[in-house]
Structures are given as C-alpha cells and as structure tokens.
C-alpha cells in the first residue's frame, strides 16, 4: 500500500501474504475511533488496562527472544526491546490510567480477557516450541502494525482526544525501534535460511504464524470495543 512506512523486506512479504487480514487489523473500527475521537473513553481505558496485562506477557516473549538469539547483535536488540517495553511503554499505560483515576493496584489486578490470553500465549508458544524465526513471525504484527497505525493516524487524525497514544507510536523513538525489529527479522532469516528464504517450505509456516498473530490483533481490538 502506498504511503506505508518501510520496515524491511521480510515484513513486506509477510504483510502482503496476510492480505485482507492486515487491513482488518490496521483499519479496525477501534483505530478509526481513535482517529476521529469517537471511540468512547470507557472503551479506551478498558483497552489500556487489558493492554497493560498484554505487555507483561509480551515482555516475557521478548525475553524469550534473548534466549533464542544466536548472535550478540540479536541478543542486544531483543534485550533492548525488553527494556523499552518495561521501562517506557508500560509507563505510558500506568500514566494514562493514573490520570483517569485508575490506581496501579487496580491496574495490576485487571482480570485477563480470553482474547488477550489467546494472543500472548500463542506468541509465547511459538517461541517455546520454535526458533527465533517462529517467535519473530508471531511478534512482528504487533510491532510493525502499531508502527503503521501510529504514522497514519498522526497524518489523518481529526481529533486531539487520543493524541498522546498516537504520538507515542508515531514518534521517532518508536519508529526507530520498529525499523530495528525489521532489520532483526531480515538478518535472522538470512542467517538461518539464506537470502532466498521465501522460496523454502519453511516460509509458508512463518507466514501462517504472522497471519494468526494478525488475526489475534483484530480480536484484541474487538475485545477493546466491548468493555
Ligand atoms: C495488543 C497490542 N498490540 C501491539 C502493541 C504494541 N506493542 C506491544 S509490545 C511492542 C514491542 C515493543 O516495542 C509493541 C510495539 C500493544 N501495545 N498492544
């Protein structure tokens, strides 16, 4: 699609293979509601509370990426992501929830929705039973999708209501980390499978993992619409 940021070759191929599912994710009604400010505050805060729980498990999945790394460079990037998640992204959630009167105790005690559990445990399982490639294929929709959504909403938003959220993902710091994950994915594939990785039988399975994680993102937005 024209105008979408470039996050590397493998991501571009996986995104194209995912077809309409990618669009369902990145242009979900929840996203469009943040764009024009019509998303009810109650839905947004419910989403944020679930997303806090999500980030706890996602941090664990990125920690598993350190375990599954085979080079110092891979370890550096995976560990930087673990740190970014715990010390930056989770703080955004704690801050916005605090402003809305949701205490840390309340936030930390959020009961996990099944759609949330399904997504994070799917990602962790891809990592437990697979190698770094399987794990990164499951992690990529989350990282790149929010990068794409952030950039588009930063251009197209017609309301200031959700500007903090949009700016976090559209910002240079986050965009730099998405490009770095794109390079990690490209490098990890070339290292393990060679440059023609997309011609191998293994590639289909990786695209299926990416596709399933993208569907689980759609389910997560849907869950967000029903507090
Ligand atoms: C449901 C859901 N999907 C994606 C993200 C965004 N996100 C979560 S972890 C991570 C990687 C580290 O930068 C990113 C970008 C989110 N917050 N919630």
ipTM > 0.85, yes or no: yes
* Pocket lined around ligand 1, Cβ cut-off 6 Å: 51, 54-55, 58, 81, 84-85, 89, 142-143, 146, 177, 217, 220
Category of 92 on φ-ψ map: left (φ > 0), alpha (ψ -120 to 50) or beta: alpha
pLDDT digits (tens, 9 = 90+) for 64-77: 999 999 999 999 99
Based on the number of CB atoms within 10 Å of its own CB, is 93 exposed (0-12), middle (13-18) or buried (19 or more)?
buried
pLDDT digits (tens, 9 = 90+) for 163-176: 989 999 999 999 99
pTM over 0.80: yes
Task: Assign 82 a pLDDT band (cuts: 50, 70, 90).
Answer: very high
CA 102 / ligand 1 centre spacing (Å): 21
Full set of structural domains in the chain with CATH: 9-225 (1.20.910.10)
* pLDDT the model gives residue 41: 95
* pLDDT the model gives residue 91: 86
CA 144 / ligand 1 centre spacing (Å): 9
Given a contact cutoff of 8 angstroms between Cβ atoms, the answer to whether 86 and 102 are in contact is no
């Amino acid at each position: 699609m024209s105008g979408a940021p470039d996050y590397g070759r493998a991501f571009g191929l996986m995104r194209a293979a995912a077809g309409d599912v990618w669009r369902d994710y990145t242009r979900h009604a929840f996203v469009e509601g943040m764009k024009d400010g019509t998303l009810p505050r109650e839905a947004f805060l419910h989403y944020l509370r679930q997303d806090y729980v999500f980030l706890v498990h996602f941090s664990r999945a990125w920690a598993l990426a350190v375990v599954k790394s085979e080079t110092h460079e891979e370890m550096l990037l995976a560990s930087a992501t673990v740190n970014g998640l715990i010390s930056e992204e989770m703080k955004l959630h704690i801050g916005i929830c605090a402003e809305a009167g949701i205490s840390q105790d309340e936030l930390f005690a959020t009961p996990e929705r099944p759609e949330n559990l399904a997504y994070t445990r799917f990602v962790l399982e891809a990592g437990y039973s697979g190698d770094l490639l399987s794990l990164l294929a499951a992690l990529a929709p989350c990282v790149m999708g929010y990068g794409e959504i952030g950039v588009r909403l930063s251009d197209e938003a017609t309301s200031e209501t959700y500007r903090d959220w949009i700016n976090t993902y559209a910002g240079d710091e986050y965009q730099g980390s998405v490009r770095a994950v794109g390079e990690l994915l490209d490098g990890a594939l070339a290292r393990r499978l060679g440059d023609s990785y997309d011609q191998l039988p293994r590639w289909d399975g990786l695209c299926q993992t990416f596709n399933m994680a993208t569907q689980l993102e759609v389910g997560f937005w849907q869950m967000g619409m029903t507090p």
